[in-house]
Each structure stands twice: as structure tokens, then as C-alpha cells.
Structure 1
């Protein structure tokens, strides 16, 4: 559900609420859980809705969301690398005993407002380059041997993805930086 329980059902919608609802509708259509005709009908309802209750009634007709299955990138040794215009899944697991990891999300296709990246690394460092407007949360990440190198942006731009890093790193260092352009 896009609307939160604290909001008054009769209160007017914000553009952010409407955009989240449209995104949920797009995802249901892309996953082939609704037909083209249903999407057109619901899109019209979402775009003309003025209150949270009108938005909720349109969204309640959508099928239940399918839980996200994580994508896994794994290697015993060597290098794990993603760069360019690669599609970032909602949940990404990176597992390795000895590999060096380099994930560049600066030009990646990011379709979700929240991205969870779970690192399970033994030895070998990792470098993650995030988009300029990304908000990075490293609270769920545990490093064993070396510290984390990350300097948060002083001014973040609204609308960027939130990237949550979790998991554990043994003997490597994790470097996170924002893309320069």
C-alpha cells in the first residue's frame, strides 16, 4: 500500500504519493499481473484521484505484490565487476571468498527507489561507486579487518535511490564513493 496509516484518507494527495502509486501499477503490468486494459483503467483512476482514499481504492484492485527474489553474484576468487548500463535488481547479494569486487552504479539502470546490497566477502576488497544523488546506508554492514571508507555527500539531491549495504567483510576494505558526474 502506498499510503501510510498516519495519513487522513480524505486528505489531498501529494505528487510523490501519486508517483509511487503509478510506479506500483507499472510494476504490476511489467510482471504481467494485470492486462493492458486494466492498466489503462487504473492509470486513469490514479491520475484523477484527489484524495488518499481514492488512491487506495484504485490500488486495492491490484493483485498482491510478489516478494522480491534476490539476485546473486558469486565467485570463489578473481574479480567480480559490474559497470556501464547494467540493470540493478532490488536486492543484490555479492558472495566471494577471495575475489575483488567493483560495482559501478553511476550509469546503471536503477528502477527501484530502494536497493539492498548484501556483501558476504572473505578476503579481497570492494569498491562501490554510487550515483551522485544516492543516499547510502551502511548501518547493516560489518567489517572485520579494515575500516570502511565512505564520506557521505554533504548535500544530497531529492529523488535519488537509497542504497542499503549489509552483510560482512572479513579482511578487505570497502570503499564507497559518489560518482563525480
Structure 2
């Protein structure tokens, strides 16, 4: 059964295995496997604190993390940002998601975004911005399959890879 859930200790081993996969492709290098193993409860507390930061500093916004689970296995992560600052308005959007490398190209991207849009609507959002790298064809297809309407391409300072920006009306 496929569903989104709040991060929990129940999926600790699966989450850490996914971080190892991401690190093999050079991502999530800031996550220490040892620290996650030794203090996963602290990691979960930080995620909860991101949801409830008030007031939030100018360079941060509140964020709700949800995990996609299928048959008791961690598949991916989704973040919903109900408010946007200048950075997220340009580059990050309301929703960010990722699927662990071993589970890509199996339809999970489309599903995590579909479920995330339902959650965004529950949070009171009527319209969401989603972005992806111009060369991320998979994410582009996921966004468009979920009703994404292309707005524009923006350059990213310090990166050679521009971002595609899409809006989705939640009606």
C-alpha cells in the first residue's frame, strides 16, 4: 500500500538505506550516516521544528516533510512549504520531492507529487509553484503529468543549470 506519512522511527533503517543510495550519487553528503544511526530521534525533532518555526528567519520558511512508503519501505521524501520567501519563489517552490535512486522510473515520482498536492490543498494552498532543473526530464514529466503549467526558465546564481518553473492550481 502506497501512502505519505510523517517521518518516524518506524522507517529509520529504510531512510538511512535511502541516504546511502543518495550519497553514492553525490547527494545528501551533509547527512552523516553515523549521526543518523546514533540520534535518529534528534533528526526527527529537527524535521518537526522546521514545520513549526515561528517567527521564521528571512532565509528560511516553514516546511512539512512527508515520507512516501510502499509496502513498509521508504521510497521518497516530499517537502511542502506553505509560504515562500524570495529564494523559494524563484527556485524552490512550494513542493520539493525526491525518490531514492533504486526506486526511480517506477511511477513513484508521479504518485508522491499527486499525494503531495492533496496535502498542500489540506494546508489551504490554492496554487503551488514547483521547480526542477532544466535537465531533469523525469521531474519535468512528473510535474506536467500532475497538471503543471510551465511559466518560465530562471538562471541560478552559481549554477550552470537553469530551473524550470511550473504552477499547479489545486482548485
Normalized per residue, the structure richer in helix is: 2
Normalized per residue, the structure richer in strand is: 1
TM-score, shorter chain, exceeding 0.5: no
